[in-house]
């Protein structure tokens, strides 16, 4: 446990060294921390609060306000199914059901082997190719139930 905290501190101080400590640095710092750790460890948020001279609760408030920030580590692969209006009228719900079925998890959950986590996204802006699936930021368009299986297999 101590080594984990040390590792986080080290990485974090490298991130923080690029900032002057203005209150407006909070989101950019959280974004970099999340990129670095894959989520926001509690220790990291406390360090950030200290650095920005603000209460822990403010950092926690911001971290939980935005969907981008995660408080727990997710799976190796982040699967996001678009449930925006454009995808919805093109069968987005069916795609979500298929992914849920194949991974055996619901949105917000991670598989037991820590391979995949599943989320829904309100719109990924690729509605022209609806319905879409996003794997680690790469958009896959014109999704069908069959292709869901192929893509999940490919990304294992």
Partner 1 sequence: MSFKTFDETRSRAISEWEALEHSDKPRILVSNATCGQAAGALAVVEAINSELARHNIEAIVAQVGCIGLCYAGPLVNIIKPNRPRICYGNITPEIIPKLIEDYIINDNPRSDLALGTIGDGNIDGIPKLFELPMLKPQVRIVLRNCGFVDPENINHYIANGGYGSLVKALGMTPEKIIEEVKKSGLRGRGGGIGFPTGLKWELCRKSPGTVKYLICNAHEGDPGTFVDRTLLESDPHTVVEGMLIAAYAIGASEGYIYIGDEYPLAAERVRVALKQARECGLLGDDILGSGFSFNVEIRRGAGAFVSGEETALIESIERGRGVPRIRPPYPVYHGLWGKPTNVNNVETLANAPSIIEKGGDWYAGIGTEGSKGTKLFSLSGNIAYTGVAEVPFGLPLRRLVEDIGGGIANGRKLKALHPGGAMLSLIPASLVDQPIDFEGLASIGSGVGSGGMIVIDESACLVDVAYMLMSFAYSESCGKCSIGRLGTKQMLGILKDATNGKGQPEDMDLLTELSGSLALGSFCPLCGGAADPVVSLLNYFRDELEAHIKEHHCPAGVCQESV
> In whole angstroms, how close is the CB of 112 to partner 1 at the nearest point?
26
Q: In this structure, what are the phi and psi dihedrals at residue 12, rounded to the nearest 5 degrees?
A: -70, -40
Nearest distance in Å: CB 88, partner 1: 5
- Count Cα atoms within 13 angstroms, Cβ side, for 140: 21
**Considering beta carbons, is residue 12 or 48 the nearer one to partner 1?**
48
- Judged by CB under 8 A, the number of residues near partner 1 is 40
The binder of partner 1 chosen from 21, 42, 55, 61 (CB under 8 A): 61
Residue 40 CA to residue 34 CA, distance in Å, equals 5
Q: Which is nearer to partner 1, 142 or 156 (CB)?
A: 142
DSSP H or E stretch at residue 130: none
Could you give the string, one character per residue 102-121, with x where binding to partner 1 holds by CB under 8 A and - elsewhere? -------------------x
Nearer to partner 1, 7 or 108 (CB): 108
Residue 12: C-alpha distances to residues 31, 42, 67, 71, 121 (Å): 12, 12, 21, 16, 28
**From CA 89, how far away is CA 1, in angstroms rounded?**
48
Which residues bind to partner 1, rule: CB under 8 A?
23-24, 26-28, 30-31, 58, 61-62, 65-69, 83-86, 88-90, 93, 121-130, 132, 137-142
């Amino acid at each position: 446990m101590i080594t984990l905290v040390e590792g986080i501190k080290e990485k974090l101080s490298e991130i923080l060294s690029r900032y002057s400590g203005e209150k407006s640095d909070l989101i950019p710092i959280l974004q970099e921390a999340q990129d670095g750790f894959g989520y926001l460890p509690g220790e990291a948020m406390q360090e950030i609060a200290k650095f920005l001279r603000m209460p822990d609760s403010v950092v926690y408030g911001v971290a939980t306000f935005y969907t981008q920030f995660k408080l727990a580590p997710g799976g190796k692969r982040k699967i996001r199914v678009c449930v925006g209006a454009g995808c919805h009228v093109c069968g987005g719900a069916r795609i979500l059901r298929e992914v849920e079925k194949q991974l055996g998890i619901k949105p917000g959950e991670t598989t037991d082997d820590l391979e995949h986590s599943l989320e829904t996204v309100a719109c990924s802006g690729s509605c022209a190719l609806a319905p879409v699936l996003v794997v680690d930021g790469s958009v896959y368009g014109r999704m069908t139930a069959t292709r869901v299986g192929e893509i999940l297999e490919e990304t294992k």
